[in-house]
Chain A
Amino acid sequence: AAGVIQSPRHLIKEKRETATLKCYPIPRHDTVYWYQQGPGQDPQFLISFYEKMQSDKGSIPDRFSAQQFSDYHSELNMSSLELGDSALYFCASSPGRNTQYFGPGTRLTVL
């Protein structure tokens, strides 16, 4: 079965640089979620989109922005990167308000 696709899988950036993470949801899933997971931490909800509109917002820094496109894929844009932004970033998708299925994650390292 098709799963959530995230790219890139690994990303290394310098402080103050920008990064863009991409997420391709499971086909026919119209809702996308972004989570951040620090080392040894639980995933923290950042933001979600339903039918290309922002649905809910969590602990997402102002330096980050995201959007969902007409083909339902989503991008998380991160600017002025800080060392503390180093983490695993997961995207999840669901059909409406139903079970979320997670992607493999993008490991971001900020040097």
Chain B
Amino acid sequence: GESVGLHLPTLSVQEGDNSIINCAYSNSASDYFIWYKQESGKGPQFIIDIRSNMDKRQGQRVTVLLNKTVKHLSLQIAATQPGDSAVYFCAENMGQGAQKLVFGQGTRLTINP
């Protein structure tokens, strides 16, 4: 069936560097995408979202890019900090009424001091 997946399960970067986490989705009808950060033992924390009528959205130190042509989503984190170490999930809304999120596999980001 339709699914959302991530290219890399782990990513390790030096503190202060920029990081990019990628995600591929297969449902071309999806209209809403979200990135969540999950620290160990905690619930997913909303980072940033983007609707399908946009190709870029910026937040504080984070940018989400959406390429509908190749059905690709990415999360860029600038000037990474130790607190950015976590698992990052992209999620795709598959619902018609309320949201029904389908999560990708997750990428573990480790920030090295």
Contacts and interface: CB of A to CB of B under 8 A. Distances in A.
Given A33-B99, A42-B105, 12 more contacts: A42-B103, A43-B44, A45-B100, A55-B98, A58-B100, A90-B44, A92-B44, A94-B99, A100-B46, A100-B101, A102-B46, A105-B41
Q: Which 5 A-B pairs have the closest CB atoms?
A: A102-B43, A42-B103, A55-B98, A56-B100, A102-B44
Interface of B: 34, 36, 41-46, 49, 89, 95-106
Q: Is the interface of A mostly helix, strand, loop or mixed?
A: strand
Interface of A: 4, 31, 33, 35, 42-45, 48-50, 55-56, 58, 90, 92, 94, 96-105
Nearest to B44: A102
Contacts of A104: 42-43
A97 B104 contact: no
Scoring B34, B43, B97 by chain A CB atoms within 10 A of each residue's CB, the highest score goes to B43
Contacts of B46: 99-102
Given A90-B43, A101-B46, A102-B45, A48 B34 contact: no
Contacts of B101: 33, 35, 43, 45, 100
Contacts of B100: 45, 48, 56, 58
A48 B95 contact: yes
